[in-house]
Amino acid sequence: MVEYKAGVLESPINTMGHVKMTAFDSRPYYKPSINKIVIRTKGVLRRSKAVVDRNNRVATAKPAKACKGKPMAEFRKCLREQMKKI
């Protein structure tokens, strides 16, 4: 669990992947969980109190474990249903 602290919150883990810079003020990220590329503006850190609280709820509930072993299309559908319950 990560606690929210006012100001900058250190990242609790290192994540894989490389940031690709563009000529514009944005960065594309590949998100394997949704199988899509997400574009965020430079400097966007998803570490607000709401995001930290949501991440803690997901870490406690572990919705992906309930969907484990299913084909990818069914896994995504199951994961959406599990996330709606949280």
Question: Which residue ranges make up each domain of the chain?
Answer: 26-85
Please report the pLDDT score of residue 13 as a whole number: 54
Please report the pLDDT score of residue 10 as a whole number: 61
Comparing C-alpha atoms, which of 37, 33, 38 is closest to residue 75? 33
Please report the pLDDT score of residue 79 as a whole number: 93
Please report the pLDDT score of residue 38 as a whole number: 87
pTM beyond cutoff 0.85: no
Other Cβ atoms within 10 Å of 82 Cβ, number: 17
Identify whether the C-beta of residue 28 lies closer than 8 Å to the C-beta of residue 83: no
Residues of the chain with pLDDT under 70: 1-23, 42-45
DSSP readout, 41-52?
ETT----SHHHH
